[in-house]
Structure 1
Amino acid sequence: MTHYAIANLRNVVVGADIVEYLQRIDATLAPYDGHFVVHGHQPELLEGEWDGTLIVIEFPDLASVRGWYDSAAYQEILPLRTANSDGVAMIVEGVDRTHRATDVLATS
């Protein structure tokens, strides 16, 4: 099942460290078939308030996203981002195209 690495970053200081992080992250994703599906565009708010920049990276499965995040290559560049931004990062499992809203009732 598809899994996603999702981050909401705030207070990003775009300096040399963030530039280096951005220049190097794609190479860390490639071995795990990860690719950006949302990256850096400001949302059009329909409801509520939003603070930050949303990033969504898609992976084919949980093993791939965990492999990427835990990899030596990514762990080497991670401090470049965490020292220059605030935010949260998480892994979430996707759903397939047959998913219906009421499917979550069967798992609660």
Structure 2
Amino acid sequence: MSAYAIAHLQEAAPHPEIAEYIDRITATFEPYGGRFLVHGARHEVKEGEWPGHVVVIGFPSLARARAWWDSAEYQEIAPLRSRHVEGDIILVPGVPEDYDPMHTAGAMREALSAR
């Protein structure tokens, strides 16, 4: 099942280390089957506030996303970003191809009726 690394990064002043990080990051996730799904695009806020930037990297599985994050290659370059850009980063599994949200709604109704 696919998985995603999602980053919500705050605005930051341009810095040479950030450019180096961007130059090097692809080589760290490609061996794990990762690829950019969202990077450098302007997002459109429909509710609430979402300042900054969104980055989404897709992986074939959560195990591969974790392996990328924990890899020596990524951990070597991560400080190039984290010293200059604040943000939140999560790893999250996708849903299976046959996912049906009605099952989630049914489980919620069942939990509510058990109260």
TM-score normalised by length of structure 1: 0.90
Query: C-alpha deviations, 1:62-99, integer Å up to 9, x for none?
Result: 11001100000000000001001111001111013332
Distance in 2, matches of 1:6 and 1:36, equals: 10
**1:18 maps to what in 2?**
18
User: Which has the larger share of strand?
Assistant: 1
Distance in 2, matches of 1:36 and 1:103, equals: 30
Consecutive unaligned residues in structure 2, runs of 5 or more? none
**1:7 maps to what in 2?**
7
TM-score normalised by length of structure 2: 0.85
Consecutive unaligned residues in structure 1, runs of 5 or more? none
Distance in 2, matches of 1:12 and 1:98, equals: 40
Deviation at 1:15, TM superposition (A): 1.2
Which is worse superposed, 67-76 or 92-101?
92-101
Moved over 3 A (4+): 105-108
State the percentage of identical aligned residues.
Answer: 45
How many pairs does the alignment contain?
A: 108
Contact 2:4 2:58 in 1 (8 A): yes
**1:94 maps to what in 2?**
94
**2:83 maps to what in 1?**
83
